[in-house]
Structures are given as structure tokens and as C-alpha cells.
Amino acid sequence: MNIMLFHSTYGLRPAVRDAADRLRTAGHQVWTPDLFAGRTFDTVEEGMEYSDGIGKEELLKRAVLAAAPYSERGLVYAGFSLGASIAQTLALGDAKARGLLLLHGTSDIAANAYVDELPVQLHVAEPDPFETDDWLSAWYLQMGRAGADVEVYRYAGAGHLYTDPGLPDYDAEAAEATWRVALGFLDGLTSA
């Protein structure tokens, strides 16, 4: 698969590059656009302040420009937290999208969003301060109404960005389980 993988509010950290390498080792072609132009952050607060300063519209513009040269190939959009929300927005707007892999995050869904059985897989901590149970229930229903085929995996006791070994949230067991399931999801898209 051709995968566009977006980083979190921490920026394009080593964990994102490692995730891309893991996906490449499994036979996928992966791009990791740097929406923060080389900036990385040590805390979520610093990253959020920086991304808020850029603005959602500008971040989406940067993401669209990064994906545009490859979108004709039929991309799987993927991302971590903030990057997941960006990936979701792009996937719901790209008729050629092959799938959507969300790690640690979701986003609002436009009322007129429609996809034709787009395969979607979400991996999120339970509980997650950024992805509350009420929010996730509403999100799941809205994605279904939009035509997506959604799978949700919750990881009890894990921190928000539990797949990043460089952060306090890291949970090795949950991270490995996530990657095992996610790689199976991507393999299923390849054979479909």
C-alpha cells in the first residue's frame, strides 16, 4: 500500500520515522510529511501552542500539498493524534483513498461527508483525555453514517501516545498489539 503518515503535535519525531520503517519493512511505501518544517517539541503543550499558531487551515493545506503528488495511486491515510485528525480529514475528502489508519486521534466529521465503505481502523487508549468515551461513541456513529467501515481498538491503562517509546505515555505491550493489528489491517487492504 501507499501510505501517507502524519506526525503528532510533537512533530516529526524518531518514533514516526520508526513507524514508517516498520511499515516499509512490511512491504508498504510510506511518506512522512513534516508539517512543522523541522520543529519538534518535548511537551504536548508546546506542540499544541505551535500548531495553534500555524492554524488548522494551514496545516490541512500543507497536508494536502504533501499528499497531492501521490493521491492518484490510492493512498492509505494514517497519523498519530493531531496527524490522525489530519489523515481523517484528507481521507474523507479523497474519493481514491484506500483506507484510514488512526493512531491516538480522530477529528470532526463534516455533515456532508460520504465515503463508499472506506476501511477505517482506530487505535486509542482507554481512557484517553483527548478522545473521551462520549466523543468516540458519537464519532463512531457519524463515521458509520458517512459510509465508513470502522473498527475501534481500545487499550486499557495506556497513555494517549502509547506507541512512542520516547514519551512517558509509552506502553510496550499496547504498542506491539497495535502494530500487529494495524499491519493485519493493511495486509487486508492489499489483498482486497
pLDDT over threshold 70, residue 128:
yes
Inter-residue contact 160 to 148 (CB < 8 Å): no
Do you find a cis peptide bond into 129, omega within 30 degrees of 0? no
Please give the order of strands across the beta sheet that includes 99-103: 29-31, 2-6, 75-80, 99-103, 119-126, 149-156
- 190 pLDDT more than 80: no
pLDDT at 192 over 70: no
Give this prediction's pTM: 0.97
Alpha carbon separation from 109 to 133, 144, 159, 173 (Å, rounded): 17, 11, 25, 31
Per-residue pLDDT, averaged over 12-36, amounts to: 97
